[in-house]
Chain A
Amino acid sequence: MPPALETRGLTIRFGGQVAVDQVSCAFHPGTLTAIVGPNGAGKTTYFNLISGQLRPSAGSVHLRGQDVSRLGAPMRARLGMGRAFQLTNLFPDLSVLENVRLAVQAQSGVFLRFLSLAADRTDLTDRAMAALRRVRLDDRAATPAAVLSHGDQRKLEVAILLALEPDIFMFDEPTAGMSVDEVPVILDLIESIKAEGGKTILLVEHKMDVVRRLADRVIVLHNGALVADGDPAEVVASPIVQEAYLGVRPNA
């Protein structure tokens, strides 16, 4: 069986700068892979290449063995790639419910319906509410997204991803900027997605305790290149991660 997701020699240059440098990596169903690396290592750019927001300078992206490098972000989303963004990326003037409902609508393949009423699709609304309940945001359903606190916006971002029901979940620092008491909601949620089984989960994360708790596998990006790949405990303890994060080579 081909891997759920694979990148082959994936590279992007901005001018002379190589942001992602020949990253070849396969991701398998049922595995949560944490992607770590210092700021500017190319983690988010790597995500953007996978989900189609950026086109690579070289290399390719394969979804279940199929080369999707030529497809744009919308088609990749329809093929089951779900992305939650690092910088909160919502529809600010629309209600919390409408934000999620739009994801459910896309997931249900309701694309060009001009004359039916959106409000009549209670099935879509119910599913959107279910996703909001999972992140405990159902009581804010009518609020415009722009008014939410930062932590609630992060939760909404995750609810949108849940509503897409993707095969591949891509979380980009889902707990960044969240208050301490909000973090467990998101971490429990990611664990519950993992427990469903069969999902391929990619997680960009800085916090090593989160990585240790959730990850089955860790890969390390440094200056755009894949420099380590393996078991979380090993990789986190490896000299290259210590150097990448602390900027110094630990004494041997």
Chain B
Amino acid sequence: MRWTSRLIAGDRPGHPVATALVLALLIGLAFAPFLFPGTKSMAAASRICIVIVLAASYDILLGYTGIVSFAHTMFFAIGAYAVAVPLARGVEGWTAIIGGMFGGAVIAAVLAALIALLSLRVRRIFFSMITLAVASLAQIVAAQWRDVTGGEDGLTFALPAALGPAFRLLPEPFLGVRFDGRLITYYLIFAVCLALFWLMLRIVNSPFGRVLMAIRENEFRAEALGYRIVIYRTIASAQAAAIAAVAGGLMAVLLRYNGPQSTLSFEIMVDILLMVVIGGMGTLYGPALGATVIVLAQYYLRPGLQALSEATAALPLLPQLFHPDRWLLWLGVLFILIVYFLPAGIVGTLRRRRA
């Protein structure tokens, strides 16, 4: 295998267009502070990095193993609270961040393994129902256990000085970019997310990953070959949960806040599902593109519509149709178009066309 191919675990996007999109995304994120300076675009880029990891980790379950879980945001939130709670209680910054991410990942993995062991023996639809119940329970716990979680208000906290806007790495701006704590925060998030994505590429292209696909395709046959599918599903659930938890820890660092709305809400779960489906289940690159599309829509669809509405102000009906308050409607139209024209998702459909 060539080293370039080895770097991505031998897993190519599988179509020139998909490759171009993935490369553009990688370069865009790697140089985001220089290409898209500004607070809002930096926030969007950071969120894209984190949500790519979250969606890709969900793809290990949904796309590779065929597990439909609605509890994935719970693990995301566990990681976020594991960082937020110690920070809010005054634990030293880096200890809280690093310890919280590790601790959160371990707690999430153990909890996911328990849920999987207890309930993956039941039929798939019942497993999904159980995860839904557990996710609701987690929301109640987060809202009611105020002493620890801060309830609905959540927790705000300060980060280490090196991650703050006042910290200067260089005294003067370079290439028009201030080398401050926010830049360090961004590259910290970017580096961790890149490492996690690479880890997931390795997992799905390992012998273990092949068995996950076999389970998705035909669990009965996988068992007849000698694979104990409950063990595989349990380990896959634990891995996905641990990775989601680290992403959650990064989200807390990015927002300097954590609450039910930022990491635990059911809307985020629906977003993750959409990202994976739009990008293409079982492709890992697809969910990365899907996550990018959705975060960009969340950030820029409203202002885009605002501009469109103003540009068409002289025409009848159109300004009302493009009113920024209608952004959810247009997001819905976008989803329907993507699902209609790309039934296997962006990367999935491109790969099929190639084959």
| B228 interface hit (Cβ, 8 Å) | yes
B89: shortest Cβ distance to chain A, in Å? 35
Interface residues of B, count at CB 8 A: 30
- Residues of B contacting A94 with CB < 8 Å? 213-214, 217
Q: A85-B221, A91-B213 are in contact. List 8 more A-B contacts (CB 8 A).
A: A72-B228, A74-B225, A102-B222, A106-B225, A114-B203, A115-B202, A117-B202, A160-B225
A74 touches B207 (CB 8 A): no
A73 touches B213 (CB 8 A): no
- Residues of A contacting B223 with CB < 8 Å? 53, 72-74, 77
| B94 interface hit (Cβ, 8 Å) | no
A90 touches B221 (CB 8 A): yes
For chain A residues 21-77, which have a beta carbon within 8 Å of chain B?
51, 53, 72-75, 77
| B192 interface hit (Cβ, 8 Å) | no
Question: How far is it, in angstroms, between the C-alpha of A116 and the C-alpha of B208 when the chains are bound?
Answer: 9
Question: How far is it, in angstroms, between the C-alpha of A91 and the C-alpha of B207 when the chains are bound?
Answer: 15
Interface centre among A92, A102, A120, by most B CB within 10 Å?
A102
Q: Enumerate chain A interface residues (CB-CB to B < 8 A).
A: 51, 53, 72-75, 77-78, 83, 85, 89-94, 98, 101-103, 105-107, 110-121, 124, 160, 164
In the complex formed, the residue of A with least CB distance to B239 is A114
- Residues of B contacting A92 with CB < 8 Å? 217-218
| B10 interface hit (Cβ, 8 Å) | yes
A115 touches B221 (CB 8 A): no
A114 touches B208 (CB 8 A): yes
- Residues of B contacting A117 with CB < 8 Å? 1, 6, 9-10, 202, 205-206
A116 touches B206 (CB 8 A): yes
- Residues of B contacting A75 with CB < 8 Å? 226, 228
| B330 interface hit (Cβ, 8 Å) | no
In the complex formed, the residue of A with least CB distance to B220 is A89
- Residues of B contacting A106 with CB < 8 Å? 225-227
- Residues of A contacting B9 with CB < 8 Å? 117
- Residues of A contacting B350 with CB < 8 Å? none
B221 touches A118 (CB 8 A): no
In the complex formed, the residue of B with least CB distance to A112 is B208
Question: How far is it, in angstroms, between the C-alpha of A94 and the C-alpha of B220 when the chains are bound?
Answer: 15
Question: How far is it, in angstroms, between the C-alpha of A101 and the C-alpha of B210 when the chains are bound?
Answer: 9
**Interface of chain B: mostly helix, strand, loop or mixed:** helix
| B297 interface hit (Cβ, 8 Å) | no
B214 touches A118 (CB 8 A): no
Question: How far is it, in angstroms, between the C-alpha of A103 and the C-alpha of B239 when the chains are bound?
Answer: 24
A116 touches B207 (CB 8 A): yes
| B209 interface hit (Cβ, 8 Å) | yes
Give B2-29 as 1s and 0s: 1 = Cβ < 8 Å from A's Cβ atoms. 0000100110000000000000000000
| B211 interface hit (Cβ, 8 Å) | yes
| B117 interface hit (Cβ, 8 Å) | no
Question: How far is it, in angstroms, between the C-alpha of A120 and the C-alpha of B205 when the chains are bound?
Answer: 10
Question: How far is it, in angstroms, between the C-alpha of A90 and the C-alpha of B221 when the chains are bound?
Answer: 7
Question: How far is it, in angstroms, between the C-alpha of A203 and the C-alpha of B138 when the chains are bound?
Answer: 53
Give 10 nearest A-B pairs by CB, closest first. A77-B226, A91-B217, A106-B226, A106-B225, A78-B226, A113-B207, A74-B228, A73-B223, A119-B10, A110-B207
Question: How far is it, in angstroms, between the C-alpha of A4 and the C-alpha of B211 when the chains are bound?
Answer: 29
Interface centre among A53, A92, A114, by most B CB within 10 Å?
A114
B225 touches A164 (CB 8 A): yes
- Residues of A contacting B208 with CB < 8 Å? 111-114
Question: How far is it, in angstroms, between the C-alpha of A76 and the C-alpha of B146 when the chains are bound?
Answer: 51
- Residues of A contacting B221 with CB < 8 Å? 85, 89-91
Question: How far is it, in angstroms, between the C-alpha of A124 and the C-alpha of B210 when the chains are bound?
Answer: 13
Interface centre among A73, A103, A124, by most B CB within 10 Å?
A73
For chain B residues 187-205, which have a beta carbon within 8 Å of chain A?
202-203, 205
A77 touches B210 (CB 8 A): no
Question: How far is it, in angstroms, between the C-alpha of A102 and the C-alpha of B225 when the chains are bound?
Answer: 8
- Residues of A contacting B125 with CB < 8 Å? none
B80: shortest Cβ distance to chain A, in Å? 25
- Residues of B contacting A74 with CB < 8 Å? 223-229
Question: How far is it, in angstroms, between the C-alpha of A88 and the C-alpha of B222 when the chains are bound?
Answer: 14
